[in-house]
Structure 1
Amino acid sequence: MGIDFAPSDRSRLGIEWEIACVDRRSGELAPAAPGLLAALGPVDGFPHVTNELLTNTVEIVSAPHHRVRDAVADLTRLVERVSTIAEPRGVDLLSAGTHPFSQWFQQQVTPEKPRYATLIDRTRWWGRQMMIWGVHVHVAVEDRRKVLPIIDGLLTYLPHFQALSASSPFWAGENTGYASNRALMFQQLPTAGLPPQFTEWSQYEAMVDDLTHTGVIEELNELRWDIRPAPKWGTIEIRTFDGISSAWEIAALAALSQCLVEYFSRELDAGREVPRLQPWFIRENKWRTARYGMDAIIIQNAAGDERLVTKDLEELLPRLEPIAEALGCTVQLESLLDIVDRGASYQRQLRVAADNGGSLKAVVSSLVRELREECG
Structure 2
Amino acid sequence: MNIDFEPNARPTIGVEMELHLVDATTGDLASIAGEVLAEMGDGHPGGEHPKAKHELFQSTIEVITGVCDGPEDVRRDLQATLAELRPLLDRRDVAAMSSATHPFALASEQLISPDERYHRLIETMQWPARRLLICGMHIHVGVPDGEQAIAVINELTRHLPVFLALSASSPYFEGADSGMSSARSLVFESLPTAGLPPQISEWTEFEDFMDTLIGAGCIETVREVWWDIRPHPGFGTVELRMCDAMPTVHETVALAGLAQTLVVWCLDRIAEGTLPDPPTQWSVKQNRWLAARHGLDARLIVETEPGAPGPTPSDPHAAEVGGRLVDVVDARDLVGALVEVLRPTAHRIGTDAHLDDVLEIARTGSGTDRQRAVVADGGTLLDVVHHLVRELATDTPTAR
- Is 1:39 equivalent to 2:39 in the alignment? yes
Match for 2:111 among 108, 114, 123? 108
- 1:233-263 CA-to-partner distances (Å, cap 9, x unmatched) read 0000000100111011011100110011010
Aligned equivalent of 2:132: 130
Using the alignment, how far apart are the partners of 2:395 and 2:186 within structure 1?
Answer: 29
Q: Aligned-pair distance for 1:342?
A: 2.1
Structural mapping, 1:213-228, within 5 Å: 213-228=215-230
Deviates more, 1:128-137 or 1:315-324: 315-324
- Structure 1 segment 77-226 matched on structure 2, within 5 A: 77-111=80-114, 113-226=115-228
State the Cα distance separating 1:305 from its structure 2 match: 1.9
| 1:15 matched residue in structure 2 | 15
Q: Which moved more, 1:215-224 or 1:317-326?
A: 317-326
Structure scoring higher RCO (CA < 8 A, sep ≥ 6) equals: 1
- Tell me, which stretches of 5 or more residues in structure 2 are unaligned? 304-323
Contact 1:17/1:134 (<8 A) preserved: yes
Letter in 2 for 1:276: P
Structure 1: distance between partners of 2:349 and 2:30 = 39
Q: What's the counterpart of residue 368 of structure 1?
A: 389
Q: CA deviation at 1:315?
A: 1.4
In structure 1, what is the Cα distance between the partners aligned to 2:24 and 2:207? 47
Structure-1 residue corresponding to 2:27:
27
- Tell me if 1:334 matches 2:336: no
Equivalent residue for 2:325, pick from 281, 303, 315: 303
| Aligned equivalent of 2:261 | 259
- 1:47 is displaced (CA, Å) by 5.6
Identity across matched positions, percent: 37
Report the Cα distance in structure 1 between the residues aligned to 2:277 and 2:202, rounded to whole angstroms. Answer: 16
Take 1:94 and 1:64, find their aligned partners in 2: how far apart are those partners?
24
Say which is worse superposed, 289-298 or 334-343, in terms of deviation. Answer: 334-343
CA displacement, residues 270-320 of structure 1 (integer Å, 9 cap, x when unaligned): 111334111111111100000000011111225322201110111121221
Quote the Cα distance in structure 1 between the aligned partners of 2:275 and 2:103: 43
Task: State TM-score, norm by structure 1.
Answer: 0.96
- Per the TM alignment, residue 9 of structure 1 is displaced from its structure 2 partner at its CA by 3.0
Distance in 1 between residues matched to 2:277 and 2:364, nearest whole Å? 31
**How far 1:144 moved relative to its partner?**
2.2
SS in structure 2 at match of 1:240? strand
Deviations 1:344-374 (A, max 9, x none): 00000000111134x0000000000000003
- RMSD, aligned α-carbons: 1.4
Assess if the C-alpha contact under 8 Å between 1:15 and 1:136 holds in 2: yes
Structure 2 residue aligned with 1:2: 2
Counterpart residue identity of residue 81, structure 1 = E
C-alpha change, 1:271 and 1:326, in structure 2 (3 Å) is same
Q: Match of 2:95, SS?
A: strand
SS at match of 1:10: coil
Q: Which residue of 1 aligns with 2:65?
A: 62
CA 1:159–1:272 in structure 2 vs 1: closer, same or farther (change >3 Å)?
same
| Shift in alpha-carbon separation, 1:187–1:92, aligned structure 2, 3 A | same
Q: Is the 8 A contact 1:69 1:329 kept in 2?
A: no
Q: Which of 321, 324, 333 does residue 343 from structure 2 map onto?
A: 321
Larger Rg: 2
Q: Is the 8 A contact 1:152 1:274 kept in 2?
A: no
**SS class of match (1:306):** strand
TM-score (norm 2): 0.91
Distance in 1 separating the partners of 2:389 and 2:242: 22
Deviations along 1:123-167, whole A, 9 cap, x unmatched?
A: 111111000000000000013221111101101100110000000
What residue is the counterpart of 1:272 in the other structure? 274
| Structure 1 unaligned residues grouped into runs of 5+ | none
Helix, strand or coil at the partner of 2:91 = helix
Aligned residue identity for 2:347: E
Structure 2 distance, partners of 1:95, 1:193, is 21
C-alpha separation in 2, matches of 1:288 and 1:124: 28
